[in-house]
Amino acid sequence: MRIAYIDAFSGISGDMFLGALVDAGVPPRLLEETVTALDVGARLEVRRVDRSGISATKVDVWAGGEKDLPREEYWKQKEDLDKAAHAPSHGHTHDHGHSHHQHSHDESRAGAPAPHKHDHGHPLRGLKEIREIIAKAKISDSAKTRAVAIFEALADAEAKVHNSTRDAIHFHEVGAVDAIVDVVCAAVGSGALGVDEWVCSPLNLGSGTVKCQHGEFPIPAPAVVELLKDAPVFSSGIQAELVTPTGAAIVKVLAKRFEPIPGMKIEKIGYGAGSRDFQGHANVVRILVGESGPTKHAAEGSRATSDIEAPRETISVLEANLDDLNPQVFGYVMDRLLAEGALDVFGTPVQMKKNRPGMLLTVLCKPEHAAPLTRLIFTETTTLGVRMREERRAALVRRSVSVQTKWGEVRLKVANLNGAVANYAPEYEDCRRIAEAHHVPLKQVMQEATRLYLEQNG
């Protein structure tokens, strides 16, 4: 299986990821053609730079004749301009009829001071407007799906932080030209590498504070924290924002697991540079591309299992026998376990001692969730003991795509094996919601969603 490994020892941002893709072999012309297809008045600048002795590729987005600006620098300049605008006038002034540029998004790019920027009328955009821009672009459907998924991840994180909804969010800092270019080029470029799975290292978040549209926030910013739930993170103590919301969203959508460098035969290496050159620390993100090699767990597995070329992972299995629990409570417990991070929960009818009917509660979860989920089982059920063990499983790489039916949007779960689609199915809850709202048979909604998916991806 071909994998790409994101080594985020110095964090990740959108432009750093693009630089690493180009350095790993994605043709710059492909990204330039993508920018042209977006038709948003932007262009790319690709160049070689040095970051603490490592030669890396730097990708910058230019819009309206100006280079994108790190958000901290943007808000600092805006603050200075606002102060100047309200300061008493002491002489003749010239009104040039333009204000500070507001297309800086969220990239720390950790920049050396960038040129002063002016507003060229780029609107603040919501998810609907961004989807429309992506839909019109002449890029592959799979790239469109990835790009939309990244923006949806950003919208969901911002909505959670601001107690709002996905569609009500307007991207003050990630909805402008440079952000759209970063995200869509990341979607196109990641597909061009031709890998079956993306894996990511623990992420170096940085430290300190960062200025943004709502004020000064601690690093990592709230949206980054929300996006990186369940991902391993750390801080090396560098006083800078190393992981930006766009970088975090790219990782959230692409990476299916987080771990140290997996067993692999490295074929390509790419370094993408941030703007700031730290003393004694290379401000780059690294991508390693190659074929996955045999692991200890795979070697220990059965012959039949080793023939399955799907990613393997370790999961925890929790079990408890229940013969005196109210059935209504059992359903509630299942919902709670899933809400708290269980991968799957199911019950199996069993005949227990004294010939009493009961239920075997089984929970599958990530090992790091085993302890809190065990506590929840003890708290919410009548069991006096929970059995636990670890098992290896092969799991297909999964992603979510959306189709627009005549009744509304339906998501589908798509699973890949060795780069080819192995399974696909519409999300039950989406279909159920539409069926109830429009009084349409549930099976008809599911059939229509499947038909549209096959039509778009046939």
Per residue in 256-299, pLDDT (tens digit) is 899 999 888 999 999 999 988 888 899 999 999 998 865 444 44
Mean pLDDT of the chain: 82
With bands split at pLDDT 50, 70 and 90, how would you rate the model's confidence at 355?
confident
Which residue, 83, 117, 115, 113, is CA-closest to 99? 117
Helix (H) or strand (E) holding 20: helix 14-23
Average pLDDT (70-77) is: 49
166 with 155: CB under 8 angstroms? yes
Per residue in 216-259, pLDDT (tens digit) is 889 998 999 999 998 999 998 899 999 999 999 999 999 989 99
Confidence (pLDDT) at 89: 47
Four-residue CA torsion sign, 194, 204, 312, 359: negative
> What type of residue sits at position 50?
D
Confidence (pLDDT) at 415: 84
Q: Give strand pairing partners of 424.
A: 414
For the domain spanning 312-394, the CATH number is 3.30.70.1380
Determine the Cα angle at 323 with ends 317 and 329, to 5°. Answer: 75
CA distance 220 to 206: 7
Instruction: Give the list of residues 6+ apart from residue 108 with CB closer than 8 angstroms, or none.
Output: 11, 13, 70, 71, 72, 206, 210, 240, 241, 242, 244, 274, 276
With bands split at pLDDT 50, 70 and 90, how would you rate the model's confidence at 127?
confident
With bands split at pLDDT 50, 70 and 90, how would you rate the model's confidence at 75?
very low
Q: Reply yes or no on whether the pLDDT at 136 is more than 60.
A: yes
User: What are the residue ranges spanned by the domains of the chain?
Assistant: 2-77+100-292, 312-394, 397-457
Which residue, 70, 51, 50, is CA-closest to 60? 70
Per residue in 294-314, pLDDT (tens digit) is 544 444 443 444 444 566 778
CA distance 20 to 193: 11
Confidence (pLDDT) at 51: 95
Per residue in 140-168, pLDDT (tens digit) is 988 999 999 999 999 899 888 878 777 77
Q: Give strand pairing partners of 241.
A: 206
Four-residue CA torsion sign, 184, 102, 116, 119: positive
pTM of the model: 0.58
Determine the Cα angle at 39 with ends 36 and 44, to 5°. Answer: 45
Fold category of 397-457 in CATH? Ubiquitin-like (UB roll) (3.10.20)
Task: Please identify which residue in the block is written with the tokens 């623990």.
Answer: 202
Instruction: Give the list of residues 6+ apart from residue 237 with CB closer than 8 angstroms, or none.
Output: 207
